[in-house]
Structure formats: structure tokens, C-alpha cells
Structure 1
């Protein structure tokens, strides 16, 4: 099982009046990591995988601790916890090596923009996603499971 790694820069404008990253900004961080995972890492040269569109059906976010501005990026690890016929669930941890700030999950539905309706996950997409499947840990609701240190990791520069 692999996890996708995305280094996300913090912006001064991400802070709220209380001096930490605003809760709504974390949704944008998740989006950046998800887009990098699904589109930039899609298999094959010129592959149409995931390029037809997708919609978010659900977000679930646990805010573990405040994140304050600094110059170093925050790491977002992403992996897949469920692949259905026409949806997938991506889990995330927004973290540093020593602490987790957010655990989250997103249900994504592939979408045919031209037809204006959901579509099924293609065989190519499923094969790509299978490399990132991690079973949820008991009591964690599918978010934040920790794999073996031997897990393959894909790193994406922000």
C-alpha cells in the first residue's frame, strides 16, 4: 500500500483572527492534495483517467490541534479507504513528523460533465487507486490509519 505525499505551503492569508489556520482553509488544503493525487499521478501518458470531472459528495474532518503560520510546508498524506462502483473515499492526515493537525476523509464521485451525471470508475482508475488502498484501523472511522514503515510513498512537490 502506498500513500500519496503532498507538501502544502502555508500562506499568511490562511490565518484567521485567532492566529491559526482557519478551519475552512483546511478544506482547500485537502482539495490541493486530492487534485495532485488524482490528476497529476493518474496512470499513463495522456491517460483520460479522472480528467472527465469529479464531485465531492462528503467531507468529514477532525481538527486535532491548531496549526499556526510558519515558512515550512505542512505534509498531507492521502490514501484510499474504499473503492465502489461509482465512488471512492480518500483519507488524509495533515501533519508534521511529530504531530497531526487534521484527520479527514472525502467521498469523491467521478462525474461525466458533458452528460451532467455521475459515472462509474473505469478499470484503469480502479487499478491506479488499488495501489493506495489501506484498510481503516478499528475505532478510527477510516481516517488516519498508519501503515508499515515499508510502505511505498509518492512525494509531490508543492
Structure 2
């Protein structure tokens, strides 16, 4: 579920103000591991929630066998601080780079309890034609939806 900045704790909102899609996830007791902090794989699940919220927001969520949709090609997560139950994490997600057939998606995870970032992720998302079984150039409508959500990505003539 994505949120507007005015519904987010102020200390978190300041850190996520440059992210157009913001999601919140309550930390579950069962997500902790033997070391009594949230297991690292859970962060990747949280990032998936933010990524899908972004895809829904730009209507890039056709996972049908014949549609054009996203496919995760690469992901890198930097773990900054451990998270403990109880807490709520807030995720900011944005496109940081848009290329012909792919884009780079950044996600910042902020702990409400700690009021600071706990992880940062960069993922490469390829535009994929599930019917052809191959990557394809990003459709113009997809680019326009990203530019509408993030006008700072619009190429300028002087660039």
C-alpha cells in the first residue's frame, strides 16, 4: 500500500521526500531470526512490495503469459542497520535511470522506530515480452507514465 507524505511520521517523511512511491510494512515477530533481528531475506521481500507498488502505480503490472511486463534482472541490497520487532518500515521507491529496454529502481527502507535508513536497494528491471520470451524496448506509454510520476527524469534538449 502506498502513502502520501502527509500520512507518514515526519522523521520518516523527510528521508523519503524524493521518492514518489512510499509503502509501509509492519514488522512481524516471525520475521526475526536466531539473532533476534529481522532476517536479511525479509528485506528483499519488503523491497518486492515497494517494487510492485511502483509497478501498480505506473500500470506496469501485466504478468500474463502474453503481456509486456517487468522482469527482475539484478538486485543489490546494502544492509545498514538491523531491524527488530516491533517496528514499521517505510519504503521509498523510484526510478533512478531509464534506458531503452530497462530501468534502474532504487528503494530506501527507513525504520519508524529508529528514524533512519536500514537498507538501500538498487534493482535492474528489464521490459519483457512474456509472449515472445524476450526483452523489448520500453513502450512509449510506459515511459510517459514514469515521466508523469517522476518529471525530473524527462530528458532535456541541453543534456
TM-score, normalising length: structure 1? 0.73
Say whether residues 1:80 and 2:98 are aligned partners: no
- Work out whether 1:123 is the aligned partner of 2:140: yes
Higher helix share: 2
Matches within 5 A, 1:42-81: 42=58, 49-51=60-62, 52-70=68-86, 72-81=87-96
CA change 1:124–1:63 in 2 (3 A) is same
Structure 1 spans left out of the alignment, 5+ residues: 44-48, 136-158
Q: Is residue 110 of structure 2 the alignment partner of residue 92 of structure 1?
A: no
CA distance change for structure 1 residues 113 and 15 in 2, over 3 Å: closer, same or farther? Answer: same
After TM superposition, the score normalised by the length of structure 2 is 0.73
Query: What are the ranges of 5 or more consecutive residues in structure 2 without an aligned counterpart?
Result: 1-17, 63-67, 154-159
Count of residues in Structure 1 that have an aligned counterpart in Structure 2 = 128
The correspondence for 2:129, drawn from 112, 115, 129, is: 112
Deviates more, 1:112-121 or 1:74-83: 112-121
Find the residue that maps to 1:53 and give its secondary structure. Answer: strand
2:14 matched residue in structure 1: none
Larger Rg computed on CA atoms = 2
Structure 1 residue 14: Cα displacement: 1.4
Runs of 4+ in 1 over 4 A off after TM superposition: none
Higher RCO (Cα < 8 Å, 6 or more apart): 1
